[in-house]
Amino acid sequence: MQTHPSKLFLIASFVLISYTAIAAEPVIVTVNGKPIKQSMLDFIIKDANEHGQKVDDNVKEVIISKLISSELLLQEATKAGIDKKPEYQMREELARRELLVSAYLQDYVKNHPVSESDTKAAYEKFK
């Protein structure tokens, strides 16, 4: 089988670009070799802001501290094999399902708003 240099270059370029994109994501801290990425912190802050909570530098430090603690505990739980136990796997699946259903319902409500007149009509109907 003959490999064309252009194919090798294309594959090598793709791998390099993929690696660069992954490596380029900022890491706020590394815990026992595992990175905690800026994107996770950003998500938590965005979620807090969307729920009306202000996140100042002190709160940000608390969030980072909790992320570090949870990463340490996650590593210990994994090392202990907790993630392989059937009870854990069932709870994980149930949590995943609930989270997905909740996200779907939130998305549905966001994309299908109820008008004030519909709300009043429903209120009058069930009053």
Strands (E), the chain: 27-31, 34-37
Per-residue pLDDT of the chain (127 residues; tens, 9 = 90+): 555 555 555 555 555 554 545 568 999 999 999 999 999 999 999 999 999 999 999 999 999 999 999 999 999 999 999 999 999 999 999 999 999 999 999 999 999 999 999 999 999 999 8
Closest CA to 60 of 82, 38, 75: 38
Q: Burial-class residue 79 by CB neighbours within 10 Å (0-12, 13-18, 19+).
A: exposed
- Cα 49 vs. chain centroid, distance in angstroms? 16
How do the domains of the chain map onto residue ranges?
27-83, 85-127
> How many residues does this entry show for the chain?
127
Domain 27-83 has CATH 1.10.8: yes
Are 69 and 29 a contacting pair, CB within 8 Å? no
Q: What pLDDT was estimated at residue 13? A: 56
Could you tell me the CA-to-CA distances from 106 to 45, 46, 58, 97, 115 in Å, in that order? 19, 16, 30, 14, 17
Residue 24 pLDDT: 82
Output the pTM of the full model.
0.68
- What is the rounded CA–CA span in Å between residue 38 and residue 67? 11
